[in-house]
Structure 1
Amino acid sequence: MMSVSQTIETEEDLLTCLHIKLYHPQQSGKGLYGLLPLGNRQRHSADDSLRMGRDTNACTFALVDARVSRKQLSLQAYRMPQSPDMMFTIQNLSQRGSLSVNGSTQGYLEKKDLPDKALIRFGEYEMLMVRESGEAKGSFEVQFEVLTVSPSRETCTCLPSMTPVMETGSHVMNTFPAELRAYGPLETDETLMCQTQS
């Protein structure tokens, strides 16, 4: 028979950690993150949903912002069979607004599996979530920090790079040799015929 001490996770167990990095364009001096445990790792039971929103009674973590929904989003831990990794889904709990994960929009109550690195947006908020693997099965940690620069403006492997299109045509034209650029800018449905000289 197993003793109780063998079934309880020990402090030495490496917990999975969700690093949540927040950004809002008016965050300085507004106290938006006053209820969050910034910089400290918070242990959370893996069988309970982690909810974020403005309602301190209904949510695990609250934002001090009347424009945020009472319950904005939910994170739920799960495991795949024969996998040691703790993974997460995200669910949009807001009836008022959409939530996007790496540019893919989620409507009310829609769920999505979170990749190891994800940019989540709702309202004017941006949250860069990064999952750090661990071994413990019954709980995980969450660590919040505030970013001084929008994560969507920084180079991020989880987002496609966006380059503005100039009036003279697509930025892709500059990558063509000079003899091809002479044809001018192309529309996406045009085909450029090239002849090679022998």
Structure 2
Amino acid sequence: MNVSQTIETEENLLPCLRIKIYHPQQSTKGLYGLLPLGNRSRHSAEDLLRLGRDNQACTFALADIRVSRKQLSLQAYRAPHSADMLFTIQNLSQKARLSVNSTALDYLERTDLPDKALIRFGEYEMLIFRESGEAKGSFEVEFEVLAAPPSRETCLCSPSVTAIMDTGSSCGLMSFPVTQGPLESDETFIYHS
């Protein structure tokens, strides 16, 4: 057998989870000192990724005592007859709820991670984008810090709708109230009874 037939080929394009994170006090504290900001890290699709305060038990750690030791986990999977690598997200915190778009997760509850998701726990907000790739055995994760909270800029009610939060629409985000402002009607709207 030829050596080139026994060596695994390098995968061309890896799926990637792009995670953009925000905290209101991020400029005054070193909250992200343990995260690999701006660098893509490669992970086996078999491995469970954990985010939390404990840098021994978690793949990614936040230097914040208000974050649970293990806050959340991400796990890759494949659906039958699909080439896409998909992910689930699970709340590992017994004290704090985790919100995924408009769905609140209690301790050990999990849900599928959409292609674009707004994740909230405590005062943290993370915008996660799933980029497709050809790889079957591994994927990448890339962290970036946002200057403003993503919930003020976009609403993720459905994958095809992006609305400005300042319009007063809360988009069903649980336990994160938005002040309802005056509603204006379209002057061209004609009412038919």
Range into which the TM-score falls when normalised by the shorter chain: 0.7 to 0.9
CA contact (8 A) 1:9 1:136 kept: no
1:174 match: secondary structure: coil
Question: Does 2:182 align with 1:174?
Answer: no
* Structure 2 stretches lacking a partner, 5+ long: 169-178
Q: 1:58-78, CA deviations, whole angstroms, 9 ceiling, x for partnerless residues?
A: 000000000000000000000
Tell me which structure has the larger Cα radius of gyration: 1
* Match of residue 135 from structure 2: 136
* Match of residue 76 from structure 2: 77
* Match of residue 176 from structure 2: none
CA contact (8 A) 2:101 2:156 kept: no
What TM-score results when the alignment is normalised by the length of structure 1? Answer: 0.81
**Which amino acid letter does the alignment assign opposite residue 4 of structure 1?**
T
CA contact (8 A) 2:118 2:156 kept: no
Give, in whole Å, the separation in 2 of the partners of 1:177 and 1:17.
44
Give, in whole Å, the separation in 2 of the partners of 1:179 and 1:42.
55
Q: How many residues are matched?
A: 175
Question: Does 2:145 align with 1:146?
Answer: yes
Q: RMSD in angstroms over aligned alpha carbons?
A: 2.2
* Structure 1 stretches lacking a partner, 5+ long: 181-193
* Match of residue 14 from structure 2: 15
Measured after TM superposition, the shift of residue 13 of structure 1 is 1.6
* Match of residue 186 from structure 1: none
What TM-score results when the alignment is normalised by the length of structure 2? Answer: 0.83
2:69 match: secondary structure: coil
Give, in whole Å, the separation in 2 of the partners of 1:73 and 1:91.
6
Give, in whole Å, the separation in 2 of the partners of 1:51 and 1:82.
28
CA contact (8 A) 1:9 1:138 kept: no
Alignment of 1:24-173 (within 5 A): 24-158=23-157, 161=165, 163=168, 164-166=179-181, 171=183
Identity of aligned residues (%): 65
